[in-house]
Amino acid sequence: MSDIATHSQLSALIRHRRSIKPVDMDATRSVERALLTQVLEDATWAPTHGLTEPWKFIVHQGAGRARLAETMQRVYRETTPANEFREDKMKKMSENPLLSPVVIACVMERRGGAKIPEVEEIEAVACALQNLQLSATAAGLGCYWSSPPLLGTREFSEYLQIGAEDRCVGLIYLGWPRAGLNWPKSVRQPVESKTQWRND
């Protein structure tokens, strides 16, 4: 059991995890397939009601990132109302996938039918993505979870070739932090301010 992290080590890892944006990743340094596979495998050890394992990972690397960027630009242009359209957002969609060596489209794939409520399947995928981020952090990778509204469009689902009941819940940008990056700091409100104790 010596290879299992202690409680204090796990707590330290959880507190160390941060969102590292694609601009702060080294796009020239690839992520080895074996490490990427291990990170994805760790993701799959999330809680799942009925053992439906509703997660699906569509991994974009190499030229696949450019195709993703082009698709995101097109879908954003086609589906965004004129009063909400922003050139800077569309520009980011063309740049971010190329700044990160790996972009993972994370899909909730309906496998439990009506027996398992959709919200529980989405929650299971969210737990998987937390596992993924913690595993990546432990390996020294940076990651960023992005969920622009276009992920919910029919056009983007068609690009991913997923079913009508499936849902892309996020894009995970994954890569090595660029040289000299200062790891971001963060704070949380004291847990006492968010906790109620009912003992009688």
What's 163's domain CATH number? 3.40.109.10
**Widest CA span of the chain, in angstroms?**
60
Q: Which two tokens stand for residue 112?
A: 């439990």
118 is a domain residue: yes
104 SS3 class: strand
What is the average pLDDT across 105-134?
A: 93
User: Would 1 be classed as within a structural domain?
Assistant: no
pLDDT band at 113 (very low <50, low <70, confident <90, very high): confident
3-state DSSP assignment of residue 59: strand
- How high is the pLDDT of residue 2? 56
Range 153-160 contact pairs with CB under 8 angstroms and sequence separation of 24 or more = 153/75, 153/79, 155/74, 155/75, 155/78, 155/79, 156/71, 156/72, 156/75, 159/71, 159/75, 160/58, 160/105, 160/107
**By residue range, what is the domain housing residue 58?**
19-177
Instruction: Indicate the number of domains in the chain.
Output: 1
Distance, CA of 106 to CA of 125 (rounded, Å): 8
Whether residue 1 has pLDDT greater than 50:
no
Which of these, 57, 101, 80, lies nearest to 150 by C-alpha position? Answer: 80
Q: Which residue has the tokens 């949380």?
A: 188
CA–CA dist 179, 192 (Å, integer): 38
Classify residue 95: in a domain, yes or no.
yes
pLDDT digit string (tens) for 137-157?
999 999 999 999 999 999 999
8: pLDDT strictly greater than 90: yes
User: Has residue 25 been placed in a domain?
Assistant: yes
pTM score above 0.85:
yes
